[in-house]
Amino acid sequence: MAAIGYTMVYSILKFINFAHGSVAMVGAYIAFVLTMTSFQMPFAVAFLLSMILTAILGILIEKVAYKPLRNAPKLAPLTTAVAVSFVLDAAVMILLGTEIKTFTMQYEVYSIGPVFITSVQIIIIAASLLFMLILHLLLSGTKIGKSIRAVADNLDLAKITGINANFIISAVFAIGSALAAASGALIGLDTNLQPTMGFILTVKAFAAVVLGGLGNVYGAIAGAYVIGLVENLGVWYIPPVWKDSIAYGILILVLLFKPSGLFGSKESAGVLQ
């Protein structure tokens, strides 16, 4: 889900939003605060509220940090994205502290031969499939979905045909940020929360996007599942402490041998012929 939001932003604005992982982290902390503090909300309600609030945050970030730089050199929004990431991480550290936080919830563990899976992980798989189905229906069967695809295909031509590009860009940031919040909250539910968790999520989502093909939503989905499977099967053969390095390794190999990704084009990836 984090990779989908990543690639949707790239498909329209053609820049890597390195603040995306930190947005996911903020969404995870919102869900935690609503669930585990005095609010005492059910996780499902806190989960949906975190998606809504983080979608609003994504729109604000786009309006304040990225919109003024649309015609600037590509390095400017990239640098701004890194700065936004630092600001979000620091804000959470100041407001909620730097210590690791955990959702104190009960879960079951199931075994299928040598494979173990928890009820939380089953929820994560089901939720990701559900959100991907909803996104597919949105992009393929609604007016706003068709407008998003038109803007991603050619921003200037979409403007000429009467599409409100500013609204569509805001919608993409809202959708991407909501998906990021969902991914952050579910990851936090499965492991734990810390203000720097966004960095690892950013790297893994970026690796998935590059593997699938920059700007290709369905490629990002495929790339994310490949990385997830390789990571979790890889720990059978390498020490678990090296698990996160698998995404780095896949990213390096893809950039070396197939920089356009599995489903991306050389033009979208900026690869020289």
Q: pLDDT tens across 171-180, in order?
A: 999 999 999 9
Compute CA 34 distance to the chain's CA centroid, rounded to the nearest angstrom. Answer: 21
Query: Is 215 within the bounds of a domain?
Result: yes
Span 25-49, average pLDDT: 93
Region 33-54: what's the mean pLDDT?
93
User: Where do runs of H (alpha helix) occur along 42-118?
Assistant: 43-61, 75-96
Residue scoring higher pLDDT (203 or 32) = 32
- Residue 101 is classified by DSSP as B
- Sequence-distant (6+) residues with CB within 8 A of 247 are 203, 204, 207, 208, 227, 231
Residue 132 belongs to some domain of the structure: yes
- Note the pLDDT of residue 267: 54
Q: What is the dihedral of CA 198, 243, 213, 87, to 10 degrees?
A: 10
Tokens of 23: 């947005």
User: Taking a C-beta distance cutoff of 8 angstroms, is the pair 181, 189 a contact?
Assistant: no
User: What does the pLDDT read at residue 13?
Assistant: 82
Per-residue confidence (pLDDT) for residue 272, from 0 to 100:
39
Give a yes or no: residue 128 inside a domain.
yes
- Tell me how far apart the alpha carbons of residues 28 and 89 are, in angstroms, rounded to a whole number: 12
CA atoms lying within 13 Å on the CB side of residue 67 = 14
Please give the residue range of the domain that contains residue 42: 2-264
Residue 8 resides in a domain: yes
271: confidence class by pLDDT, cuts 50, 70, 90? very low
Dihedral sign of CA atoms 124, 181, 201, 98 in order:
negative
Note whether residue 269 is domain-resident: no
- The Cα 196–Cα 85 span in angstroms is 10
SS3 102: coil
Phi, psi for residue 239 in degrees, rounded to 5: -60, 140
- Asked if residue 150 belongs to a domain, the reply is yes
Instruction: Evaluate if residue 151 carries a pLDDT over 60.
Output: yes
For the chain, what percent of residues have pLDDT higher than 70?
Answer: 96
At 253, which CATH number?
A: 1.10.3470
- Supply the pLDDT for residue 266: 55
The DSSP letter of residue 126 is: H
Q: Compare 268 and 25 and report the one with higher pLDDT.
A: 25
94-103 pLDDT per residue, tens = 999 999 998 8
Which range has the worst mean pLDDT, 158-162, 208-212, 256-260?
256-260
Q: Determine the pLDDT at residue 270.
A: 52
pLDDT tens across 100-128, in order?
Answer: 998 887 788 888 887 788 888 899 889 99
Residues 6+ apart with CB under 8 A from 40: none
Asked whether residue 272 is domain-assigned, the answer is no
What is the spatial distance between Cα 227 and Cα 39, in angstroms, rounded to a whole number?
36
pLDDT band at residue 236, thresholds of 50, 70 and 90?
confident
Contact criterion met (CB below 8 Å) for 55 and 119: no
pLDDT category at 273 given cuts 50, 70, 90 is very low
> Is residue 270, in this structure, part of any structural domain at all?
no
Residue 145 has pLDDT above 70, yes or no: yes
Round to whole Å and give the CA distance between 82 and 85. 5
How far is residue 198's CA from residue 196's CA, in Å, rounded to a whole number? Answer: 5
> Quick one: pLDDT at residue 268?
52
Strand partners for 101: 193
pLDDT at residue 49 in the model: 97
How many domains, in total, are found in the chain?
Answer: 1
Give me the count of residues in the chain.
273
| 91 has pLDDT over 90 | yes
Tell me the per-residue pLDDT of 191-234, one tens digit each, with 9 for 90 and over.
889 999 998 888 888 888 888 888 788 888 888 888 888 888 88
